[in-house]
A and B are shown apart, each in its own frame.
Chain A
Amino acid sequence: MCCRFGDLYKECCDDDCNYVSFALIFLFTGNNFRTFSMAPALLARTHVNYEVKGDVAVVRINDPSSKVNTLSVQMQREMTEVMNEVWANNAVQSAVLISSKPGCFIAGADINMIQACNSPEEVTTLSQEGQKMFERIENSPKPVVAAINGSCLGGGLEFAIACQYRVATKSKKTVLGTPEVMLGLLPGAGGTQRLPKMLGLPSAFDMMLTGRNIRADKAKKMGLVDQLVDPLGPGLKSPEERTIDYLEEVAIECARGIVSKKIPLRKEKGRMQKIQDHIMSYGFVRNQIYKTVHGKVMKQSKGLYPAPLKIIEVISICNSSLCEANVTHFHGCFQNFGELAKTSESAALIGLYHGQVACKKNRFGTPQKEVKTLAILGAGLMGAGIAQVTVDKGVHTVLKDTAVAGLARGEQQVYKGLNDKTRKKNITSFQRDSILSNLTGQLDYRGFENADMVIEAVFEDINIKHAVLKEVEAVVSPHCIFASNTSALPIKDIAAASKRPDKVIGMHYFSPVDKMQLLEIISTDQTSKDTIASAVAVGLKQGKVIIVVGDGPGFYTTRCLAPMLAEAVRVLQEGVDPKKLDGLTTSFGFPVGAATLADEVGIDVAAHVAEDLGKAFGSRFGGGNVEVLKTMVDLGFKGRKSGKGCYVYQPGLKTKEVNPDIGDILEKYRITPNPAVSSDSDVQYRLVSRFVNEAVMCLQEGILNGPLEGDIGAVFGLGFPPCLGGPFRFVDSFGADKLVEKMRRFEAVYGNHFTPCQLLLDHANDSSKKFHK
């Protein structure tokens, strides 16, 4: 199960670290020396202030109410005031723009401000006002140098590129990017015009369409920043404080250099750049590029996301040579921004963003004991994956297997994960080695008395689980938590063999563990609150987005997936080709098609789950014949891991062909489709409605804590279409009544597989009921 969307998303939100304490210190100590003249209105301003150092005005940004600086209404107002004073002050020749927050320059526009707008027109006005200020900065007669340390994203980046010069620290926290596309928006304050001019079309497209974060050194190479400054180590002040001071000193020198013409603002372009510019000056070349990019976006997004398409459109208009400096299309950009901000896709993506931030908090409080040693049983794909995301967080990680070969494979997986990071220069080889020194691989229970938590990732068989639970409890200390990485076995069944069920919990990771962000934590009635708090704390340390759900067969995620896969098998039995099935699911917005998903999960696992959950929930979980999956397993078609499943996987080959041997199996279990419910759209809704109905039922039964966690779990764990925002937001936007209507039609043909649950019916009967307010 691989969710590309989630990957992109991850970096965007990692910036919300703990800056509060620093911010406060700066508020009180920032300005108590070297001040020549203070702005008269300083006391009235809370977000932006400035001091004049010689002939340079140092403008400092600091939002006192938040961990990060955002371009809020107040920030914009104060910035305008300050800049007006700077421009009016004859003693000032140039300005430096810097943030007083150690990890953040400006993280972007204030999302809440955009959401608070009632109409596209209101958003358009907001965007226009931001752009107006940036335009004045761009045309400033006194050069403005942006001194960037920490995240410089979205509107923050657009601000920075409106300045005449950019100096950035090489700190790991310094990232530049335009993540708007991930929120279903476009860079609405000049990015679509300035970035292509600055970087050329290809790089600008890459930035704006992927929304990815760019590190300072890469930004320098691209020409996004002009000069780099090394972060400093311990010295007369804390490294963070002194680094900001140093950045400011260097930026001031740059500002003076620009005024004295020692630093040229127009850089001599390289030969390649000149050639590229020349080629780009032809309209038909540009059009070809727009066409190619448009095609790529359509292929990847299936046209389900309006934002990237709008970005291409806006860039193509703004950069056509005819319309240079034509005010109307600037206006067009703002309008597009306003329209995008009010689309359901943007609402869905912003909802996910908020949900993700919420799921990165521990609502169970701080655990009594921090987990310093984590032992993992089973060095398979999952076990080693868990080790991989744990060991680099400073936690001593013990990886135990029963066989040398399995252990060696697992340790190699951990090594490879870290080594790949080294090759991408995310960490040095020295860091890799010192991280690995925290990993202990072993075949016995030596040292388990020091473990604070044991996560088992052994074979999915209740008897084996009971056996390892007893073995573990015999050797660990009383405070040690036992977590099971099962995907379907009820935790209370596992805990039945435990002497201390309050310490037993479920931690359901998704494969590949280092890529998938979701962690589903399952608590039973007996699990203590401290155990949950501890499991959440570990998951957060591992960088996971966490949902905490109640116990039951399949918990939340597996339980939602099972009926959809059962339906997928039925669809296959009805004669739909796996490729066609994949096409139907991906065009609905799933990042991975249903047939491919089954291969990724493993046909054996799918068969296992289908059988178990079928027993637990009865005929409602029926649909496709489980025998289809079982026969495939018998023939060795266990999915990607065995090389064959619905498809044939050949190493090194990117394209995959349908496994020719499954034709016979499907022929054997062939069902005649009912034409009344077999149109492409019907097939899509058959798959999705079963997923959604089961999700709503999980909320109804109290498995889920709320719709928000339900949406996050479905999108980040199972790849539910991000543009729909998750099953609950989908019900809200699609309409529960319309969904129920479709389900009733399917129910008439297939029976109780499609019977809507009570909560869904309630929503269908009362249109004022919404899962998300």
Chain B
Amino acid sequence: MRFGACSLSTTTQLQAQVQTKSKKTLARPGVKNIVLVEGVRTPFLLSGTTYADLMPHDLARAALQGLLNRTNLPKDAVDYIIYGTVIQEVKTSNVAREAALGAGFSDKIPAHTVTMACISSNQAMTTGAGLIAAGQCDAIVAGGVEFMSDVPIRHSRKMRKTMLSLSRAKTLGQRLGLIGSIRLAHLTPELPAVAEFSTAETMGHSADRLAAAFGVSRLEQDEFALRSHTLAKKAQDDGLLQDVISFKVPGRDIVSKDNGIRPSSMEQLKKLKPAFIKPHGTVTAANSSFLTDGASAVLIMSEEKALAMGYKPKAYLRPTYGTPKALERAGLSMSDIDVFEFHEAFAGQIMANLKAMDSDWLPRHTWVGTPPMEKFNLWGGSLSLGHPFGATGCRLVTTVAHRLQKEGGQYGLVAACAAGGQGHAMVIEAYPQ
């Protein structure tokens, strides 16, 4: 249910009044233009592969350094650094700060970490854009990081309680008493919850129910997954994924490619058993996004600052987070959009979203139709490239900017859903070349 609401709220953000097609700029008088100067990411790797021995801030650091290299940005020219992450490493709970310091940014630059499930880095960018719009900052680095190769596995609550009491125990007798109270049950570890706390439902389970609610068949999901992998492979082979930086992993090789792209065949996909709802579910390992390690970073500036520093911006950002009317507010209709980049957590979820947009589910007056597939996630998506929860948002935005440049379009639309029934949408306008 939650997932349903979440994904659907994403789609409601596409509501728009029917507008005459005008390819004018969306700049409004009195409102600062915010531009995307550059966006990079580390290769997204299946968790447990080459990044296995790192820590989250190492990945974030790599993305930040990659951004610095690409832009030649002086390390003190940034006003603020914001990072998004989902599963937090307790040792680096403000991972933004740890990564920034480790990447050599001035310790005078404040940094904070945000978390909002799969749209954490979207929120990092939106927060940054807000700071620029409010006139507090001119240049922001936003990013996201997720590291699933290592997650905080805790002692049980009972054990933690005993250990905390132990640290307060004053006498040997008290200590021995506490140690003696430890039972086998105390030793059962606590894994980080994959399920949403409020609904106690895992995302995969939820996606399966969502797909069923919208009548998305297994075949449709598998076809979509195959499409995603095929397009990603092509984009990778054609060298379109310019946002990927090379990263020398300490003690290992240089990594410069995403390693989760595996175009397979429908026959292969058909063989898989459902991963969550057994035995009749439709969501499988192959039509879901996989556990991924990765980090991303973008440099966002006010237009005048970017131009003053001699940058050639890639795109205008028009974040409208929280408004269910991304298009309406931008005064655009679906046909004005040249590039769509939607987050694909599960094939079933994205297909259900598309069906919902094309159904009676939405009130008629807000009906905008579905994005045409020939403009949709053309360079692969989360299913194939990977989905490091906290880092995906920046990838989506950077990809839109790059696709607008490559394909010559003017407007792009980013949409993503997140656990907890939340969603995010952003309109991106190409910077005149």
Residues of A within 8 A of B (CB): 227, 229-230, 232-236, 239, 242, 246, 250, 253, 428, 430
Query: Are the C-beta atoms of B198 and A430 separated by less than 8 Å?
Result: yes
With A242-B213, A428-B199, A430-B197 as contacts: A235 and B277 at CB distance below 8 Å? no
Say yes or no for B164: interface residue by CB 8 A criterion.
Answer: no
Q: Are B212 and A232 in contact (CB under 8 A)?
A: yes
Known: A235-B4, A430-B197. A230 touches B213 (CB 8 A): no
Closest to A234 in B: B4
B200 touches A (CB below 8 Å): yes
Residue total for B at the interface (Cβ-Cβ under 8 A)? 25
9 A-B pairs with least C-beta separation: A235-B213, A233-B1, A430-B198, A232-B213, A233-B4, A235-B214, A250-B280, A246-B212, A230-B209
What are 13 A-B residue pairs whose CB atoms fall within 8 Å in the complex? A227-B280, A229-B280, A230-B209, A232-B209, A234-B4, A234-B8, A234-B361, A235-B356, A236-B359, A236-B361, A242-B212, A428-B200, A430-B200
Asked if B428 is at the interface of the complex by the 8 Å CB criterion, the answer is: no
| B5 at interface by CB-CB < 8 Å | yes
A235 touching B280, Cβ below 8 Å: no
The answer to whether the Cβ of B152 comes within 8 Å of any Cβ in the partner chain is: no
- Residues in B with CB closer than 8 Å to A430 are 197-200
Alpha-carbon separation in the docked complex, A232 to B210 (Å): 7
- A326 to B334, alpha carbons, bound, how many Å? 73
Beta-carbon contact of A235 and B352 below 8 Å: yes
Q: Chain B residues near A250: list those with CB within 8 A.
A: 280
Q: B215 within 8 Å of A by Cβ? A: yes
Neighbouring A residues of B199 by C-beta, 8 Å: 428, 430
Least Cβ–Cβ distance between B398 and chain A, in angstroms: 33
**B4 cross-chain contacts in A, Cβ below 8 A:** 233-235
Instruction: Select from chain B the residue with minimum beta-carbon distance to A235.
Output: B213
Rounded to whole angstroms, the CA-CA distance of A253 and B281 in the bound complex is: 12
List B355-401 residues whose CB lies under 8 Å from chain A. 355-356, 359-361
Choose one: A229, A233, A236, A239; the contact of B215 (CB below 8 Å): A236
Please, which residues of chain B bring their CB within 8 A of the CB of A236?
213-215, 355, 359-361
Contacts A233-B1, A428-B200 given; does A253 touch B280 at CB 8 Å: yes
Report the bound CA distance from A483 to B9 in whole Å.
44
Selected from B197, B277, B356, the residue in CB contact (under 8 A) with A230 is: B277
Q: Count chain B CB atoms within 10 A of each CB in A234, A253, A430 and give the residue with the most.
A: A234
Q: Which residues from chain B contact A232 at a C-beta distance below 8 Å?
A: 209, 212-213
Q: Which residue on chain A has the smallest CB distance to residue B360?
A: A236
Interface string of B268-280 (1 = CB under 8 A from A): 0000000001011
Bound together, the chains give a CA A378 to CA B214 distance in angstroms of 50
**Chain A residues near B356 (CB-CB < 8 A):** 235
Residue of B nearest to A428 (CB): B200
Given the complex, which residues of A lie within 8 Å of B208, measured CB to CB? 230
- Bound: A233/B349 CA distance, A: 13
Pairwise interchain contact B215-A235, C-beta atoms closer than 8 A? yes
Question: CB-CB < 8 A to B210: which residues of A?
Answer: 233, 235
Give the residues in chain B near A246, CB-CB below 8 Å.
Answer: 212-213
> Whose C-beta in chain A lies nearest to the C-beta of B214?
A235
Residues in B with CB closer than 8 Å to A428 are 198-200
Residues in B neighbouring A235, C-beta threshold 8 A: 4, 210, 212-215, 352, 356, 361
Contacts of B280 in A (CB 8 A): 227, 229, 250, 253
List chain B residues, Cβ under 8 A from A233: 1, 4-5, 209-210, 213
Residues of A within 8 A of B213 (CB): 232-236, 239, 242, 246
A227 to B277, CA, bound (A): 11
Chain B residues positioned under 8 Å from A230 (CB to CB): 205, 208-209, 212, 277
CB distance from A172 to the nearest CB of B (A): 13
Contacts of A242 in B (CB 8 A): 212-213
Among A235, A236, A246, which residue has the most Cβ atoms of chain B within 10 A?
A235
Give Cα distance in the complex from A257 to B418, angstroms: 36
Q: How far is the CA of A234 from the CA of B2 in the complex (A)?
A: 10
Contact residues of B between 154 and 208, Cβ < 8 Å to A: 197-200, 205, 208
The 8 A CB mask of B137-163 against A (1 = contact, 0 = none) is: 000000000000000000000000000
Inter-chain CA distance A242–B361, complex, in Å, is: 13
A430 to B196, CA, bound (A): 10
- CB-nearest residue of chain B to A254: B280
CA distance A235 to B215 in the complex (A): 8
Most buried by A among B200, B213, B214, B355: B213
A250-B352 Cα distance, complex, nearest whole Å:
19
Given A230-B205, A230-B209, A234-B213, 9 new contacts (CB under 8 A): A233-B1, A233-B4, A233-B213, A235-B352, A235-B361, A250-B280, A430-B197, A430-B198, A430-B199
Chain A residues, CB < 8 A from B214:
235-236
In the complex, per-residue mask of B337-366: 1 if CB is within 8 Å of any chain A CB, else 0 = 000000000000000100110011100000
Contact pattern, B 205-230, Cβ under 8 Å of A = 1, otherwise 0: 10011101111000000000000000
Closest to B279 in A: A227
A227 to B199, CA, bound (A): 22
Chain A residues within 8 Å of B355, by CB: 236
Q: Residue on A with the closest CB to B280?
A: A250
> Please, which residues of chain A bring their CB within 8 A of the CB of B209?
230, 232-233
Q: How far is the CB of B208 from chain A (nearest CB, A)?
A: 8
Query: What residues of A have a CB within 8 angstroms of the CB of B197 in the complex?
Result: 430
CB distance from A468 to the nearest CB of B (A): 39
Give the residue name and chain of the B residue nearest to A233 (CB).
B1
Bound CA span A235–B357, Å: 11
In the complex formed, the residue of A with least CB distance to B205 is: A230
Complex Cα spacing A430 to B1, Å: 15
Which A residue sits closest to B8, measured CB to CB?
A: A234
Contact partners of A253 in chain B: CB under 8 A = 280
Provide the residues of chain A in CB contact with B198, threshold 8 Å: 428, 430
A167 nearest CB neighbor, chain B only: B280
Q: Closest CB of chain A to B364's CB: distance in Å?
A: 15
CA of A19 to CA of B254 in the docked complex: distance in angstroms?
64
Shortest CB-to-CB span from B212 to chain A, Å, is 5
User: B8 to chain A: which residues have CB within 8 Å?
Assistant: 234
| Nearest chain B residue, comparing its CB with the CB of A245 | B215
